[in-house]
């Protein structure tokens, strides 16, 4: 102990940080901590000037009043006064501003795909905060701030709730861990006691048997063996316990969410919309679509402003007309008949094989047939 005391520097004054002169004196009533040891200071987040409690009561009890510090013309209300957390009021103010900024700029690391972007975001947020704290370019910063808030309203609330959840789960985890540690220690203590008790019991047992007049040597040997066996059992149990714990520990670490950047997903290029499910009407083997046709109907329609204004395109009409005209050419009836026959055979086989699955089979068969038909439809030209 004395060595410990040696290594520790002696306190020169009680609270050196606070005793730097005016910190301890109320600027309004000039009462100092030296004379009133119960002195408490309060601040108002409007201007961060601090007054003693009794001054606050005196000045602001009758409603809002201007700050009594000369030069500060802010109007303060009593209910806004609170005890400062930090002794450095600059930091107090900074933290309040951070609270405000942090509530809005709460994007999480998981939302970013690369570190650089995240760091840039952090940098930007810090810039805004810094400007607000040091009152640089206040208006512009405020504008940026507001703009961001408006733009990301939904994400902000979402992230806020996420953070809340996280906090709750962290607290729960902590509690659980403490509980576990406690129970482990308890178990160890119990085990120790048990061990001691058994040892004692064993000894008593040996003594009893000796007293009852058994052969001393064999009794001693038997006692030792029992003792040895018990110890081995305990060792094995301890080993099992350890393994169990190791296993649970590894499980435990599995639950822990590893925070970090969002996993990088290669965005697949979005497939273009295909309303016909893979059927292609573009394979125009048998005809070519022209831009223009020399036919009065087409020409007139094209020239009519009224029709064009509605968004009607003559091309759609000509294309469709041609498509319909050549539609039958890609279908070979003979081949298709053969195909159908083969299918029927297959279906019959199925039926023979499993009667129980008949319904399913027919259903499946129907579906299959439908599909086959679809497939057949492919490339009709």
Q: Which residue has the tokens 């947020």?
A: 125
What is the distance in angstroms between the CA of the first residue and the CA of the last residue of the chain?
Answer: 99
Q: Going residue by residue from 325 to 354, which x/- string records binding to another protein, judged by CB under 8 A?
A: ------------------------------
Hey, which residues between 44 and 73 contact another protein (CB under 8 A)?
A: none
Q: Judged by CB, which is closer to another protein: 53, or 127?
A: 127
Minimum distance, C-beta of residue 189 to another protein, in the bound complex (Å): 10
CA distance 231 to 198: 10
Q: Which residue has the tokens 């007293």?
A: 211
| Binding of residue 264 to another protein (CB under 8 A) | no
| Per-residue tokens: 315 | 């091309």
Q: Judged by CB, which is closer to another protein: 36, or 85?
A: 85
Q: Going residue by residue from 109 to 128, which x/- string records binding to another protein, judged by CB under 8 A?
A: x-----xx-xxxxxxxxxx-
| Binding of residue 229 to another protein (CB under 8 A) | no
Helices 89-104, 153-211: axis angle to 10 degrees equals: 110
- Asked whether 86 and 95 are in contact (CB, 8 A), the reply is yes
| Binding of residue 170 to another protein (CB under 8 A) | yes
Hey, which residues between 187 and 206 contact another protein (CB under 8 A)?
A: 188, 192
Radius of gyration over every alpha carbon of the chain, rounded to an integer in angstroms: 43
Look up residue 330 and give its DSSP letter: G
Q: Judged by CB, which is closer to another protein: 60, or 118?
A: 118
Task: Choose the stretch contacting another protein; rule: CB under 8 A; options: 22-30, 69-77, 93-101, 203-211.
Answer: 93-101
Distance of CA 82 to the CA centre of its chain: 34
| Binding of residue 263 to another protein (CB under 8 A) | no
Q: In whole angstroms, how far apart are CA 189 and each of 155, 169, 195, 200?
A: 51, 30, 10, 17
| Binding of residue 135 to another protein (CB under 8 A) | no
Q: Which of 48, 130, 148, 317 binds another protein (CB under 8 A)?
A: 130
Burial degree of 53 (CB within 10 A; 0-12, 13-18, 19+): middle
Q: Which residues bind another protein (CB under 8 A)?
A: 1-6, 8-11, 14, 16-17, 85-88, 91, 94-95, 98-99, 102, 109, 115-116, 118-127, 130, 133, 167, 170, 174, 181, 184-185, 188, 192, 238, 242
């Amino acid at each position: 102990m004395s060595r410990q005391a040696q290594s520790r520097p002696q306190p020169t004054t009680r609270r050196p940080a606070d005793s730097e002169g005016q910190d301890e004196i109320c600027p309004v009533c000039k009462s100092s901590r030296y004379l009133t040891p119960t002195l408490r200071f309060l601040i108002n987040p409007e201007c961060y000037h601090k007054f003693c409690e009794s001054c606050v009561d005196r000045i602001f009890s009758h409603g809002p009043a201007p700050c009594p510090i000369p030069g500060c013309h802010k109007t303060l209300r009593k209910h806004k006064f609170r005890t400062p957390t930090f002794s450095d009021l600059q930091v107090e103010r900074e933290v309040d501003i951070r609270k405000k900024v942090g509530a809005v700029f709460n994007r999480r690391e998981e939302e970013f795909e690369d570190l650089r972007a995240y760091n840039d975001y952090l940098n930007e947020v810090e810039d805004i905060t810094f400007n607000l704290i040091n009152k640089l370019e206040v208006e512009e910063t405020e504008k940026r701030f507001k703009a961001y808030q408006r733009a990301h309203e939904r994400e902000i609330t979402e992230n806020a709730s996420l953070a809340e959840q996280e906090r709750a789960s962290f607290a729960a985890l902590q509690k659980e861990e403490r509980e576990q540690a406690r129970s482990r220690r308890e178990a160890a203590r119990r085990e120790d006691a048990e061990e001691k008790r058994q040892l004692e019991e064993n000894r008593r047992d040996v003594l009893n048997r000796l007293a009852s007049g058994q052969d001393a040597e064999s009794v001693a040997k038997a006692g030792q063996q029992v003792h040895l066996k018990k110890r081995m059992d305990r060792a094995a149990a301890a080993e099992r316990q350890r393994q169990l714990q190791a296993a649970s520990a590894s499980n435990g670490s599995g639950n822990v969410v590893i925070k970090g950047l969002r996993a990088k997903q290669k965005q697949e290029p979005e497939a273009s919309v295909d309303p016909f499910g893979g059927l292609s009407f573009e394979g125009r083997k048998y005809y070519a679509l022209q831009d223009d046709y020399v036919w009065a109907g087409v020409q007139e329609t094209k020239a009519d402003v009224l029709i064009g204004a509605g968004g009607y395109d003559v091309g759609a009409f000509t294309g469709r007309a041609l498509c319909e005209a050549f539609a039958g050419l890609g279908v070979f009836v003979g081949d298709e008949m053969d195909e159908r026959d083969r299918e029927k055979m297959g279906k019959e086989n199925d039926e023979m094989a499993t009667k129980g699955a008949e319904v399913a089979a027919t259903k499946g068969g129907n579906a299959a047939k439908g599909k086959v038909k679809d497939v057949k439809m492919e490339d009709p030209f």
